[in-house]
Structure 1
Amino acid sequence: MTEIVATTPGLYPLPDWAKEQLKDQKGNQKEDLISGDEGAEIQDSYEEVRTEFIDAQQAASLDLVVEGQGRWDDMLAHPLAVNDAVDTRGIVRYYDNNNFYRDPVVTGDLEATGDIAEELEAASQQVENLQAVLPGPYSLADLATDEHYGDEAAFQAAIAEFLAEEAELLPDVETLFLLEPSLVENAPGDGADERASEAIDTVAGATDADVVVHPYWGALEEKVYAHVMDADIDALGFDLISDHEQNVYNAQEYGAPDDVALGIVDGQNTLVEEPETIEERIEWFTDQTQQNDYERIYATTNTETFYLPVNRFEEKLEALGALNKTEVKA
């Protein structure tokens, strides 16, 4: 029998009170923030945000709870933005949307900071069914600029080792989502696709948690899909909101892991899906890919949700949590 697990890929929208409070608190601390050294007031604000995120997920009855990544001002680039071997420079557009991040320029040898482990350790004091979130190594290398390693392959390998070190420091978590939108948005070519798979292997091998590679904003190209399927991961994500046809084709043509993550709630659109609609999307995917026998399906938003107003974000959590999993035919 297939297990349905309601969860999200994190990166939640900051509550309005937190935006104003943090804006005031950060006013004169720009250099400290760039180095990752926040003052006590700012740390307290983020602790309140974390608690609010966790409370919202628990109230919605999600099966796996994320920390929420309220501190990730630079979104997926955050793990580099707080690293001493990185200079944060000009503002860069975050993929093809109206969100921006500071360009993380790697200028020295990367070493783990434990920054994300600290966030998750704090979250673990409030919840047991914890899920970690990290950028995937291909996407993080794609979002960054290299002024140290000097070679694309060496840089991606260094990013993978850095993320593996960060993963080793994480507290006990049930699942680790590796977010890999660049595999879709800036697909690796011949040779690079195999290196991307090897980089994912490096990170996945650093944790005992179930590892989910979650691409989004479309579907993987066929060769990239085949290489990611070769990676030693537990589950692969399918963004059924952005491109359901190609994602289903990939699963039909090349198979799928025993566990899959289905992006079946729109992380960018304010229209809130009914639980019945979400259930129908799960059933549609499994009907279309009957040759695959799924043990676990992660029901999730297709993308991060920081694009959404807070009230719509919370309503989408509730819709996911309200899944009648005993009646979903998977």
Structure 2
Amino acid sequence: MTERVATTPGLYPLPDWAKETLSELKGHQKGDLLSGDEGSEIEAAYDEVRGEYVDDQLAAGLDRVVEGQGRWDDMIAHPLTVHDNVDTGGIVRYYDNNNFYRDPQVTGELTADGDVAAELEAAADVLADDAPLQATLPGPYSLADLATDEHYGDDADFQAAVAEFLAGEVEAFPDHETLFLLEPSLIENPPADGEETAATAAIRTVADATDADVVVHTYWGALDEKLYAHLVDEAGADALGLDLVAGDRDDTVYNVQEYGATDSLALGVVDGQNTLVEDAETTAERVEWFESQVPVEAFDATYLTSNTELFYLPENKSKAKLAALAAATEVLE
């Protein structure tokens, strides 16, 4: 029987109290923030946020617990925007979500700096043995797509360097059960024809750096057929994340029917950008609909997740969606 795992891609909205507190504290330390050195008061606030995130996930009954990425002001560009060899440029809009972040401009060699590993160590300390830890990172294709290269001079070399940078980060991670690599650019700005293998090779570089199960999570629509086939065959992922909320889900099902799938799948079954909260039955129905279209017995595990990060939602709506995901796994038993 296929294991069903309730989890999320991370990147949660800040608690309401933290927005005000951190805004005030950061107003005095802007120069330090851009280097990832926030100072003791800001660190203490983020520690409290992290503890709340862990408690919320445990209370909801999720099967995997993420750190929550409360520090990631620049969303999936964060691992670069705090790097010593990256200048944080002007404000830009990523994708079409009406949220604006800084533009990471890579000016020197990308070497692992342990920033994300330190966050995960702190989350592991809070979590103890209450549930398995799940790590979250941007995928190398999306991170390279969102950044500006002012050092490597070649797109392929830059993408490979970003992958090596992320792999170095992963090698420093504490024990984790699962790694979600967030790859929205594979849909929003896919590789040109003939460049799919370079993208999947970059993802494999990161996937090979961990013994955990790796989920390459794509969202905001269906993957191009050719790219989908490359990801299944070449990316080294244990599971491919498929968005059943945005875009035409029939196209997503067609890809699975026509080209097969990874050993496991992650299904985006609650909307990470819509304040309407799906109940457990609706969430379970989306899973059952998908499973009715494909041979579900072929999968080792099905991850039930939000299609996107939950950052875009009010705090109370985000918590409600955690509960819906966890409750859906019980409905499906």
Matched with 1:290 is: 295
Q: TM-score, normalised by structure 2?
A: 0.97
- Residue 47 of structure 2 is aligned to residue 44 of structure 1: no
Indicate if the aligned counterparts of 2:6 and 2:329 stay in contact, CA closer than 8 A: no
How much does 1:138 deviate? 0.1
Tell me which amino acid in the other structure corresponds to 1:214. H
Secondary structure of 2:190 counterpart: coil
Matched with 2:276 is: 271
- Residue 313 of structure 2 is aligned to residue 300 of structure 1: no
Change (3 A) 1:270 1:197: same
Matched with 1:239 is: 243
Work out the CA distance in 2 between the residues paired with 1:292 and 1:319.
24
Tell me which amino acid in the other structure corresponds to 1:166. E
Work out the CA distance in 2 between the residues paired with 1:257 and 1:131.
19
- Residue 239 of structure 2 is aligned to residue 212 of structure 1: no
Matched with 1:157 is: 160
Matched with 2:53 is: 53
Secondary structure of 1:97 counterpart: coil
How much does 1:190 deviate? 2.0
* Matches for 1:25-104 after TM superposition, within 5 Å: 25-104=25-104
Work out the CA distance in 2 between the residues paired with 1:33 and 1:97.
24
Work out the CA distance in 1 between the residues paired with 2:278 and 2:71.
28
Q: Which of 305, 323, 332 is the matching residue for 1:328?
A: 332
Q: Which of 167, 173, 183 is the matching residue for 1:180?
A: 183
Residues 144-165 of structure 1 show CA distances to partners (whole Å, capped at 9, x for unaligned) of 0000000000000000000000
Tell me which amino acid in the other structure corresponds to 1:14. L
Change (3 A) 1:119 1:291: closer
How much does 1:233 deviate? 1.1
- Residue 169 of structure 2 is aligned to residue 166 of structure 1: yes
Residues 73-95 of structure 1 show CA distances to partners (whole Å, capped at 9, x for unaligned) of 00000000110010001101021
Secondary structure of 2:254 counterpart: helix
Matched with 2:227 is: 224
Runs (5+) with no aligned partner, structure 1 = none
Work out the CA distance in 2 between the residues paired with 1:120 and 1:292.
33
Indicate if the aligned counterparts of 1:258 and 1:292 stay in contact, CA closer than 8 A: no
Matched with 2:198 is: 195
Tell me which amino acid in the other structure corresponds to 1:297. T
Indicate if the aligned counterparts of 1:14 and 1:310 stay in contact, CA closer than 8 A: yes
Secondary structure of 2:328 counterpart: coil
Matched with 1:250 is: 255
Work out the CA distance in 2 between the residues paired with 1:316 and 1:167.
28
Secondary structure of 2:275 counterpart: coil
Work out the CA distance in 1 between the residues paired with 2:27 and 2:217.
35
Indicate if the aligned counterparts of 1:255 and 1:292 stay in contact, CA closer than 8 A: no
How much does 1:293 deviate? 1.1
Secondary structure of 2:63 counterpart: coil
Aligned residues, how many? 328
- Residue 323 of structure 2 is aligned to residue 318 of structure 1: yes
How much does 1:323 deviate? 2.2
Work out the CA distance in 1 between the residues paired with 2:195 and 2:150.
20
Work out the CA distance in 1 between the residues paired with 2:113 and 2:329.
41
Work out the CA distance in 1 between the residues paired with 2:6 and 2:292.
20
Runs (5+) with no aligned partner, structure 2 = none
Residues 228-265 of structure 1 show CA distances to partners (whole Å, capped at 9, x for unaligned) of 11221100011000131111111111111120000000
Secondary structure of 1:31 counterpart: helix
Work out the CA distance in 1 between the residues paired with 2:176 and 2:232.
23
Work out the CA distance in 2 between the residues paired with 1:276 and 1:96.
30
How much does 1:292 deviate? 6.1
* Matches for 1:7-26 after TM superposition, within 5 Å: 7-26=7-26
Work out the CA distance in 1 between the residues paired with 2:57 and 2:156.
39
| RMSD across aligned positions (CA) | 1.1
Secondary structure of 1:126 counterpart: helix
Work out the CA distance in 2 between the residues paired with 1:235 and 1:249.
17
